Amino acid sequence: MSFSFSPEELVAIGLSLKVALWAVVASTPVGVLVALLLARCEFWGKSLVNGLVHLPLILPPVVTGYILLLLFGRRGPLGEFLEASFGIVFAFRWTGAALAAAVMGFPFLVRAVRLSIEAVDRRLESAAGTLGARPAWVFLTVTLPLSVPGLLAGMTLMFGKALGEFGATITFVSNIPGETQTLPTAIYAFTQVPGGEAQALRLVLVSVAISLAALMLSEVFARRLARRVVAA
């Protein structure tokens, strides 16, 4: 088997990295706020919010993709509004693939950050508060820096999940070469045509390598967080 990648394969690899990166970057601020809300606040409906955050882990990915299509399609309420107001289109675009990847990977990010925030010693936050620091400043200068290992672990896991997302992506944005064809959908396409086994295998190896690297990196961050918790 030759390891010389065709232009189509290189485009799929590049697009997958682009989609996964944007999914993580766009989701991180929201994920941190949701994790903080779940870790530090008690309110009516907290279990419902937590359930909605983790729902993509339980639902079939095709269902998630179909819901995204209903909401963010060109005739969907959110999709029509975004296109008319800001010119943002998700359906059958790479931005839609990033959105699908973000939704599917969001629970991994939130859970890791939430556990990291819960591990922060509340006495440190209280001490900063007694010195006159506002809650937002306490979070930015005390809680968030101490939660960095968990944040990085969550971002890494989300990146790996986004890279391998298939069901929601192909349902929401289809499998358009050069536009929405990521690694998983490209592998699927190559397995459906005669003689495409070698191309599919090359992309499988690339996917395994990147995913394994993401998992190992996430484990490194998780161990750092565990050592910090024990030290505290």
pLDDT tens column, 123-140: 887 887 777 778 888 888
| pLDDT confidence bin for 143, thresholds 50/70/90 | confident
Q: pLDDT > 70: what percent of the chain? A: 94
Could you give the CA distance from residue 135 to residue 45 in angstroms, rounded to a whole number?
A: 23
Neighbouring C-alpha atoms within 13 Å toward the C-beta of 156 = 19
**CA dihedral sign of residues 202, 6, 94, 14:** positive
Average pLDDT estimate for 28-42: 92
Residue 192 in this model has a pLDDT that exceeds 70: yes
Q: How far is CA 212 from the centre of its chain?
A: 16
Q: Which residues contact 4 (CB under 8 A, 6 or more apart)?
A: none
> What's the pLDDT at 166?
92
| Phi-psi domain of 2 (left: phi exceeds 0; alpha: psi -120 through 50; beta: other) | beta
Supply the mean pLDDT for the chain.
Answer: 87
Q: What pLDDT digit, counting tens, does each position of 207-232 carry?
A: 898 888 888 887 777 676 556 555 55
pLDDT tens figures, 55-113? 999 999 999 999 999 999 888 899 999 988 888 899 889 999 999 999 999 999 999 99
Cα–Cα distance measured from residue 105 to residue 141, given in angstroms and rounded to the nearest whole number: 27
CA dihedral for 221, 226, 227, 232, sign (positive or negative): positive
Residue 45's Cβ-count burial label (10 Å; 0-12, 13-18, 19+) is exposed
Does 42 score more than 90 pLDDT? no
Please report the domains of the chain, with CATH numbers, ordered by start residue: 7-231 (1.10.3720.10)
Task: Flag whether pLDDT at 10 surpasses 80.
Answer: yes
The answer to whether residue 194 scores a pLDDT higher than 90 is no
